[in-house]
Structure 1
Amino acid sequence: MDRLAEWPAHTAAVLPFIVVVWLGMWSGRRRILEDPAAHRVLLRCVAAGGLAVAFLGGLPYALVAAGAIHVDTATLEATAYLHSASGMSGGPGYVALFGLLALRFPKGRQLSSVEAVAALGRRSLSGYLLQSVAWTALFVPFTLDLGGSTYTAFAAAVAVWIVSVLAAGALEARGQRGPAEWLLRRLTYGR
């Protein structure tokens, strides 16, 4: 009976994630990021809309967390749910923003840092897994527990991201897939 009560809320919480994954597949099939100049209007709309929804949806929870406003438990739970659900739109918003930023670097004249970020995108599963392990090692209370200070947590997060970009760039330079992508292809297609 407990699971029956949890099911609608869980489905509602997972639905935005499913939509974001579908949007990624849809845009990949239409090669939107491969030719951002041809999709400039769409990318602008997604960047502005996605980032606005993520910001506005996370703002109430941020104000509560900062102590700027005080609410009861039910309202706190509602703001946390809104923060989580609206935050999913930030992913497509940032992807679209990066697609627009790529227009600033013409083909053949890309900076090595832009290429490294693109390499991480091509190895996104490996990057995700690397960052997940790093977050666990750095922030969980029974490991290094660096999450106590916002500044320390921010610095650690930036450092982990930079390491993942550098690792992806090194794999790109050697023409290798990410380890997770290699394993996934191996398990899916065999030798």
Structure 2
Amino acid sequence: MARKHLLTEAHLHRKQLRRMAVVGISIALVGGLPLAIVGAHSWELSPIATGLIQAIHIMSGIAGGCAYAALFGLLGPVVNRSALAIRALVALGKRSFTFYVFNETMLVLLLSPVALGLGGGLHSTGAAVTAILIWLTAVGLAFLLEKKNMRGPLEVLLRWLLDRNAPKLKQTQA
């Protein structure tokens, strides 16, 4: 996708992006359906068959990921970039490392049996609602950092760790 500039020049590749989105999402749905049926305890399989279905799920998920990238490539040029929701998502993207760690930490703290252990008492819907609320909190915090023109703390730390070990370039007088 990158070598052919499919996303950076999406207006030139709309037909190919549309095809990639439709085919990739279809593959992901078909590849994920068997595992969903097994997960719902509607289909009992041997461990080997279940492993094979999980492998198919993973492989079809790659097609789905490419499809969603293509879909966002199609949506990018037509989205109102000044909309509040878009600005908030951009703020989250600028601080993705910080908020990836934030999301995972909050999920562990709230749901894990080693912390608060709420996950043991929640059904999948409750766990999903919890994850969505954590994500929405992350979006709000990222937007607040953007308003204050602040980078994510982990982005700052990573930059500091990388920059302090970088070799110093000698300045030459011209």
Q: Does 1:127 align with 2:99?
A: yes
Unaligned runs of 5+ in 2: 166-174
Instruction: Indicate the SS of the match to 1:176.
Output: coil
Q: Does 1:82 align with 2:82?
A: no
Structure 1 residue identity aligned to 2:79: F
Report the count of equivalent residues.
163
Q: Which TM-score applies when normalising by structure 2?
A: 0.76
Deviation at 1:60, TM superposition (A): 0.9
- Does the Cα contact within 8 Å between 2:95 and 2:152 map onto a contact in 1? yes
Deviation at 1:42, TM superposition (A): 4.5
- Correspondence for 2:26 among 41, 52, 59: 52
Instruction: Indicate the SS of the match to 2:78.
Output: coil
Moved runs in structure 1, 4+ residues, more than 4 A?
Answer: none
Correspondence for 1:188: 162
Unaligned runs of 5+ in 1: 1-22
Go from structure 1 to structure 2 and tell me whether the alpha carbon gap of 1:131 and 1:119 turns closer, same or farther (over 3 Å shift).
same
Go from structure 1 to structure 2 and tell me whether the alpha carbon gap of 1:70 and 1:146 turns closer, same or farther (over 3 Å shift).
same
Go from structure 1 to structure 2 and tell me whether the alpha carbon gap of 1:134 and 1:89 turns closer, same or farther (over 3 Å shift).
farther
Q: Report the Cα distance in structure 1 between the residues aligned to 2:83 and 2:109, rounded to whole angstroms.
A: 32
Higher CA-based Rg: 2
Q: Report the Cα distance in structure 1 between the residues aligned to 2:6 and 2:18, rounded to whole angstroms.
A: 16
Higher helix share: 1
Q: Report the Cα distance in structure 1 between the residues aligned to 2:89 and 2:103, rounded to whole angstroms.
A: 14
Q: Report the Cα distance in structure 2 between the residues aligned to 1:89 and 1:104, rounded to whole angstroms.
A: 24
Correspondence for 1:115: 87
Go from structure 1 to structure 2 and tell me whether the alpha carbon gap of 1:138 and 1:116 turns closer, same or farther (over 3 Å shift).
same
Q: Report the Cα distance in structure 2 between the residues aligned to 1:140 and 1:164, rounded to whole angstroms.
A: 19
Instruction: Indicate the SS of the match to 2:149.
Output: coil
Q: Does 1:155 align with 2:163?
A: no
Go from structure 1 to structure 2 and tell me whether the alpha carbon gap of 1:91 and 1:178 turns closer, same or farther (over 3 Å shift).
farther
Correspondence for 1:142: 114
Deviation at 1:112, TM superposition (A): 0.7
Go from structure 1 to structure 2 and tell me whether the alpha carbon gap of 1:48 and 1:185 turns closer, same or farther (over 3 Å shift).
farther
Q: Report the Cα distance in structure 1 between the residues aligned to 2:12 and 2:143, rounded to whole angstroms.
A: 27
